[in-house]
Amino acid sequence: MKATEKMKNTKPQWSIKLPCLCLIAATMAFTMGLLTAPLLNISAKVISSTDPSRQLIKQLWPDSPTNQVVMEAKTTLQASTSDPSVQATNEVLETKAKNDDALLKTDAPFKTDPVLNLKDSANVQPPSESDKKKCNIFKGKWVESNREPLYRNETCPFLSQGQNCPGNGRPDEGYLNWRWQPTECELPRFDGLAFLEVMRGKTLAFIGDSVTRNQFEALMCALWQVAQPHPNGNRKFQRWIFRDYNVQIIRIWSSWLVRVSSEAIEFAPENMTKLHLKELDNKIAEFLPKFDVLVLASGHWWPKTTAYIMDGKVVGGQGWWNSSYKKEHDVLSGYSVAIKTALNAIVSNPDYKGLTILRTYSPEHYEGGAWNTGGSCTGKTQPLTDKEVAENSYMDTLYSHQMAAVAEAEKIAVANSKKLRVMDITKAFSYRADGHPGPYRNHDPNKQVNRGPDGKPPPQDCLHWCMPGPIDTWNEYLLAMLKQEL
């Protein structure tokens, strides 16, 4: 038989049928989906794919971008302006661009928005008894952790440029790889949905200086990952409303917490800042009855040049003094009077029924000088050890004055059925010299970040905190306290 005939009569050893082809095609499509999914969701890594809140987010905002994460600014601005999430993002960016303090131009009256009955309450459980177990969450230690930050600098439009450490060129991320571990219990990771549920129908106010603003912005960044607020404030205060939960978050600038004026008083000249140590700041007094929770702090502005006034008379000051007069109060004793004034006035206000939280002094970590005399925290990349924590008499004294003021005000609070609590961050954050911006204070690509030939460090910020960073722990403290108290 010829070779060609043998080939015609030889049966093939295998054959492919149509059903097999369909099965192979389906398998390949499924496999490609698994391979590409991480790439498509890489910008949404702020919320883990295993986080149960992801399904809740999809239910709450089915028409919004995945996870409600704000993409990079360029992508956001190029997206469709009809997308409500893009409009909200643009509002924030435009507001911050116009004014670094984000003072809103509207003068809408202070009012409470009606609660919207959405599906969120069905998915978020109220605090359990274990959540309410008493524990000193401020006593513990920093432990290494590889968990993702609550947000990234490119996923939050609230972040001030000075605290945008990655955006300002900071190359290391080791400062992100630590979490606070209380000695007696666990400090739960911040949960934005749980926070909004605990605060449902309530108003939270942050009052203080730029470090207080730092905490406010960190909270807003964390919440932005799960819900988008609407701005509705005026020049006296910054206000944001989470309408789905009827939660209002407010920030009021008050560096000293007491009334400030600039007129000439006795031998203190005009235009010098006058601190009326026995009078609460007018802005606090005006809006206090509207608040359900108040977080306040102060201390970092007290070294500035000021005159102290009591009963219309100059009783002391900082940064100046006429030596021919007797000085009754210096910066530390003046602060003691002022913090007592603020706390006593707040807890004795008959129209204020809220929870007052005093955040203790936030440590700064300048070495070799102060902020304006060559102090530095350059090169700090992980928490300090016990031996490395430097003594700070100014911080220790202010802290002791805060505790004394709380002890005095607590008596008034108890008599008036008020709640006064302390967010004690001073000791824990004395270890976190690595969490400050340092020389990475701005976006200038040509800024100096290393010591010069003369050994002097570049100008830097060792007071505020990088975002994301250790400061996010403050809002974990806050949520734990709210679960306990509300």
Give the pLDDT of the chain (486 residues) as one tens digit per residue. 444 444 444 444 444 444 444 444 545 544 444 444 433 333 333 333 333 333 332 332 333 332 332 333 333 323 333 333 334 334 433 434 344 343 333 334 444 433 333 333 334 444 455 545 578 999 999 999 999 999 999 999 999 999 999 999 999 999 999 999 999 999 999 999 999 999 999 999 999 999 999 999 999 999 999 999 999 887 778 999 999 999 999 999 999 999 999 999 999 999 999 999 999 999 999 999 999 999 999 999 999 999 999 999 999 999 999 888 999 999 999 999 999 999 999 999 999 999 999 999 999 999 988 877 788 998 899 999 999 999 999 999 999 999 999 999 999 999 999 999 999 999 999 999 999 999 999 999 999 998 888 888 889 999 999 999 999 999 999 999 999 999
Q: Where are the alpha helices (H) located in 380-464, listed in sequence order?
A: 393-415, 426-429
Taking the C-alpha atoms of residue 209 and residue 463, their distance in angstroms, rounded to an integer, is 12
β-pairing verdict for 306-310 and 313-318: antiparallel
Kindly list the distances between the CA atom of residue 262 and the CA atoms of 232, 270, 273, 314, in Å, as whole numbers in the listed order: 30, 6, 5, 13
Residue 91 CB-density burial (10 A; 0-12 exposed, 13-18 middle, 19+ buried): middle
Burial 346-379 (b: 16+ CB within 10 A, else e): bbebeebebbbbbbbbbbbbbeeeeeeebbbbbe
Amino acid identity for residue 241 in this structure: I
CA 485 to chain centre: 20
Residue 333 CB-density burial (10 A; 0-12 exposed, 13-18 middle, 19+ buried): middle
CA 118 to chain centre: 27
Structure tokens at 179: 């979490």
The Cβ of residue 299 has, within 10 Å, a number of other Cβ atoms equal to 25
Amino acid identity for residue 102 in this structure: A
Catalytic residue among 300, 329, 436, 464: 464
Q: Is 49 left (phi over 0), alpha (psi -120 to 50) or beta?
A: alpha
Catalytic residue among 64, 210, 261, 348: 210
pLDDT for 128 equals: 53
Does a cis peptide bond (omega within 30 degrees of 0) precede residue 439? Answer: no
Helix (H) or strand (E) holding 251: strand 247-253
Spatial CA neighbour of 209 closest among 295, 308, 292, 279: 295
Kindly list the distances between the CA atom of residue 336 and the CA atoms of 61, 331, 343, 359, 398, in Å, as whole numbers in the listed order: 48, 9, 11, 15, 8
Structure tokens at 438: 């340092």
3-state secondary structure of 57: helix
pLDDT for 158 equals: 93
Strands (E), 301-384: 306-310, 313-318, 355-359
Angle at 361 between CA 356 and CA 367, to 5 degrees: 165
Strand pairing partners for 206?
Answer: 251, 295
Catalytic residue among 120, 191, 434, 461: 461
Taking the C-alpha atoms of residue 384 and residue 432, their distance in angstroms, rounded to an integer, is 6
Kindly list the distances between the CA atom of residue 142 and the CA atoms of 175, 382, 385, in Å, as whole numbers in the listed order: 11, 10, 10
User: What is the pTM for the complete model shown?
Assistant: 0.75
pLDDT for 377 equals: 93
- Asked about 464 being catalytic, the answer comes back as yes
Where are the chain's structural domains? 120-485
Angle of helix 210-224 versus helix 472-485 axis, rounded to 10: 80
Taking the C-alpha atoms of residue 308 and residue 261, their distance in angstroms, rounded to an integer, is 11
Taking the C-alpha atoms of residue 474 and residue 37, their distance in angstroms, rounded to an integer, is 34
Contact 479, 194 (CB under 8 A): yes
Overall size of the chain counted in residues: 486
β-pairing verdict for 247-253 and 419-423: unpaired
Strand pairing partners for 248?
Answer: 203, 241
Kindly list the distances between the CA atom of residue 92 and the CA atoms of 74, 124, 226, 240, 460, in Å, as whole numbers in the listed order: 14, 28, 16, 10, 27
- Asked about 298 being catalytic, the answer comes back as no
- Asked about 436 being catalytic, the answer comes back as no
